[in-house]
Amino acid sequence: MNIYDAIKKRHSIRKYKPDPVPEDKLNRIMEAVRLAPSGKNGQPWRFILVRDAATKTALVPACKGQGFIAQADLVIVACANEGESYQNQGGYMKSWPLDIAIALDHLMLAAAAEGLGACWIGAFIEPEIKKILSIPDDLRVVGLTPLGWPDEDPKPKPRKPLNEIMFFEHL
């Protein structure tokens, strides 16, 4: 599948079959994650792959009751080590939220190419996630995603047209 097809095929999946993600698919997806770009190539990411049913269930309230995450074979928790990221992006910010977001987008596009589903989970309570997974103080939780076999085929969500968001030469 080419990149444009994967971009079109990817939708947030909020209903999963319990079937396991085959190891070869998981390895290809995580290799796509590993190859993501990052500020100064800092690669400040750590990914915790949760397959244990009790742990996935424990993560649901920490994700504000989003129960569908526990349906999927895996819940992947994307963390950042702030200190490993580029510290002065644009003169005002650190790159770690961007770095992790890019890596997660690689994950989601690769998942779509593999026929699997994922969904950005940004609604979570960081201290609770850290407690459940024993994540140390020097790591931040940036986002999570379930990863598994889709049990729905959602309609594409609307997007703004290009003429509202793209400008030549000046705004």
Ligand X SMILES: Cc1cc2nc3c(=O)[nH]c(=O)nc-3n(C[C@H](O)[C@H](O)[C@H](O)COP(=O)(O)O)c2cc1C
Contact 135, 129 (CB under 8 A): yes
> Do residues 38 and 85 lie in contact, with contact meaning Cβ atoms separated by under 8 Å?
yes
CB 102 → ligand X: shortest distance, Å? 12
Which single residue brings its beta carbon nearest to ligand X?
Answer: 122
* Single residue of 12, 43, 81, 87 touching ligand X by CB under 6 A: 12
In degrees, rounded to 5, the angle at the alpha carbon of residue 121 between the alpha carbons of residues 115 and 127 is 140
Q: Cβ closer to ligand X: 23 or 164? A: 164
Cα distance between residue 14 and residue 91, in whole Å: 38
Count residues binding ligand X (CB under 6 A).
10
Could you say which of 26, 59, 66, 150 contacts ligand X (CB under 6 A)?
66
157 is a contact residue toward ligand X (CB under 6 A): yes
Q: What's the closest the beta carbon of residue 171 comes to ligand X, in angstroms?
A: 24
Judged by CB, which is closer to ligand X: 44, or 146?
A: 146
Q: What x/- string results for residues 93 through 132 when contact with ligand X is judged by CB under 6 A?
A: --------------------------xxxxx---------
DSSP states along 81-117? EGGGS-S-BTTTB-SHHHHHHHHHHHHHHHHHHTT-E
Burial of 8 (0-12, 13-18, 19+ CB in 10 A): exposed
Footprint on this chain of ligand X (rule: CB under 6 A):
11-12, 14, 66, 119-123, 157
